[in-house]
Structure 1
């Protein structure tokens, strides 16, 4: 970045009560969650190999892009877990809910547009814009532009106030400012009262930076890592999300110059939806029989995956680490299931009414992902749902038989835990 360019001013930081902090942490969770889904959607849309229309050099490059974008999405998952730990540390419950796609204007700041779009020049430009360093000028691709607005309140009172930001890094700086302010007012012991034992640590999941938080120093270290990994890193690290997307963009343009018909991705739908929308203008209703059944299955896998993550926090049993490992291991296995099914969706037509447009994973949310009742109730409900998924997988021709067997094994794991 040219240091002579004047930095772009960010909105003033809003500080307040613990409720304000929890409000900001919930927004950060939703940002990480929605970006993770957006990146996964783009990665799932990429073609694989020469058998899908790529030349040899193109195929190897596109395969590397897929791995890079998937790694970025995994880091977003790590950020989501880090924010969850921080939320628990200050007395809250992890926030894994979010709005469905496309996110309506007014929910996030006007410069943060989040939709599901396949891999393309436009999508790449959008990702670069979202991940740009704090203070950097930038302009989103016009495909993603929307009217500017603010989220002001007439009175800043007891209710938490919206924190506008032009870069995601500034949202985290607002969280840092609130942590410092509350630690000064309440003392660190009064602020970090949630307890480290109810969080998820490196003994359970091997994600960089996912550690238990019980102090202001640990909280600020987590924020530093999130920013450095991509959400507006002032250092512009070579492996940051911002730099990774810039590198892909450069290679994309080079390949396109050599082959003007270069098409690295399937023509997947913008904003596919599981349910018929009342306003269909910016969405594609997936109603092709094959794709609709597979989308229903994939969204159900995603819903259970979120439930497993939710259940991993706040555990107070006699063996919380063992229970967390069971839940997180199952969640990771479901991630692989989701990826495989989503790849297949990108190769199926979305609808009989939209020829030439393929389907895609809509990441449709459950109405609620609050923690299930613990103990045998939790185990019974998870086991039931695993078996529902296994039975459904056996009826879907696009899914390998090993997949239903894997889901059967996961259901049995929760049966064994219930009987122990």
Structure 2
């Protein structure tokens, strides 16, 4: 974790007992009543309340980003020719459910950017490879196939406050064993933010900049393929699975900011059990349902529901990686004889190039979303997409590209010398930077750089792939050619 962030994280949790109005608690947006004793945040050194709130939203953004990536990796790992016939329908359903949750996490990530925008704060699409060191981070970032252990961590991270009982204790113990430490609830962070947003003395009304609304993401722009408010409808891919409900909440005021927090909380990171813990639509309940079904399988069946994908696949060796990871697991893991999670470098020539292409498309997706927040206006001008519209359109295209390239990686071995060994998987490695240039014209130059880099990678792959994978490269190359033509027109307008 970056030291400039981690040094503050030990200071974000202190609370004191104080009499505060019930209206300030996370359990209710509209309730009123006499003051009662509640735990309230303490302002850490080096901050005022607005800056502290911005930092917490940056933490929230990294958490949503990290969860989305880990859920995607787990979903991609499900399936394969080794799955027994009698389990294939269930495995496909589990995959679709987890992919839907990952898409909803994308909505949470974008909503957090809206909250940062309304505060006049910089956006944050970054994430840490190993975000540990604060009780606000749920568990160590690990790209791993779906198992009962990894699933237990997801259940605990999304669990409501007060979740207890024999099943809860069993899942918490399994999650803690796999994580090397107790898994934290994501809802604790959102409850803290809600407490701060509710207090007008800490955050005056004037800090909420309603004029930023045209630059924020909205459901009308980003809710493509999802029917707002109709999570009960069936998914087009698996008829028995409900389609995800993409929540993207614009924010103009204190009340709408709190409403956005509660919308996110009700969908996944529950504030309290009575608010979402019993909601079958929550991430918690959906993960718990899969856990209960997987637990009923035999050990032999469990071993066959996922592909044998390597944990934490990488395109290059990180010299500091072992030290960082083992430091986090020092103590508990060693005492129990467990090994800390390590990265596995992709050495198969074709898989390695697909891994680089995956990382590049991942960067392109993140920068497309970030760049869209720089622009205002409609998606089209009646005849063609506007600049903002093209960025949103390309974001969705990159989502499909990531899934397609991940599928290629899962077919290939990690190690060139072990063709029947573990499969390579999508590395999700962060780029050296996600910063955009100051001038919008230079942002388009950066976009052009990335498309041209993708063209170079496609050419390097061409002689390595068999005919069936060339067809995808041909379509991707054509798509990039059209994108490059559009970018050249936008650059020419400078």
> TM-score per shorter chain, which class?
0.7 to 0.9
- The answer as to whether partners of 1:301 and 1:337 remain within 8 angstroms in 2 is yes
Change (3 A) 1:147 1:122: closer
Paired with 2:390 and 2:445, the residues of 1 have a C-alpha distance of: 14
Corresponding residue number in structure 1 for 2:144: 117
Paired with 1:173 and 1:109, the residues of 2 have a C-alpha distance of: 11
Normalising by structure 2, we get a TM-score of 0.72
Q: Which secondary structure state, in structure 2, belongs to the residue aligned with residue 305 of structure 1?
A: helix
Q: How far 1:136 sits from its partner (Å)?
A: 2.2
| 2:206 aligned to which of 155, 169, 189 | 189
- Which range moves more in the overlay, 375-384 or 209-218? 375-384
Corresponding residue number in structure 1 for 2:133: 106
Corresponding residue number in structure 2 for 1:76: 105
Corresponding residue number in structure 2 for 1:299: 359
- The answer as to whether partners of 2:208 and 2:252 remain within 8 angstroms in 1 is no
User: Does residue 1:170 correspond to 2:188, yes or no?
Assistant: yes
Q: Which secondary structure state, in structure 2, belongs to the residue aligned with residue 95 of structure 1?
A: coil
Normalising by structure 1, we get a TM-score of 0.84
User: Does residue 1:85 correspond to 2:114, yes or no?
Assistant: yes
Corresponding residue number in structure 2 for 1:145: 179
Paired with 1:186 and 1:34, the residues of 2 have a C-alpha distance of: 28
Task: Tell me the alpha carbon deviations over residues 372-404 of structure 1, each in whole angstroms, 9 at most, x when there is no partner.
Answer: 344332223212321321342244224512122
| Unmatched runs of 5 consecutive residues or more in structure 2 | 1-37, 224-244, 323-339, 381-385
RMSD: 2.7
Q: Which has the higher contact order (CA 8 A, sep 6+)?
A: 1
Corresponding residue number in structure 1 for 2:264: 226
Q: How far 1:141 sits from its partner (Å)?
A: 2.3
| Unmatched runs of 5 consecutive residues or more in structure 1 | 1-9, 149-164
Number of matched pairs: 387
Q: How far 1:107 sits from its partner (Å)?
A: 5.6
Paired with 1:194 and 1:266, the residues of 2 have a C-alpha distance of: 49
Pairing 1:341-380 to 2, within 5 Å after superposition: 341-352=405-416, 356-380=421-445
Task: Tell me the alpha carbon deviations over residues 124-164 of structure 1, each in whole angstroms, 9 at most, x when there is no partner.
Answer: 1121111111232451525533257xxxxxxxxxxxxxxxx
Task: Tell me the alpha carbon deviations over residues 254-305 of structure 1, each in whole angstroms, 9 at most, x when there is no partner.
Answer: 4448x64751111111112222122446221222222111101100110111
| 2:75 aligned to which of 43, 51, 59 | 43
Paired with 1:11 and 1:109, the residues of 2 have a C-alpha distance of: 16
| 1:214 aligned to which of 228, 252, 277 | 252
| 2:479 aligned to which of 406, 416, 419 | 406
Q: How far 1:348 sits from its partner (Å)?
A: 1.6
- The answer as to whether partners of 2:371 and 2:391 remain within 8 angstroms in 1 is yes
Task: Tell me the alpha carbon deviations over residues 148-200 of structure 1, each in whole angstroms, 9 at most, x when there is no partner.
Answer: 7xxxxxxxxxxxxxxxx93111100111112122x344531234366212211
Higher-Rg member (1/2): 2
Change (3 A) 1:348 1:300: same
- The answer as to whether partners of 2:451 and 2:484 remain within 8 angstroms in 1 is yes
- The answer as to whether partners of 1:255 and 1:262 remain within 8 angstroms in 2 is no
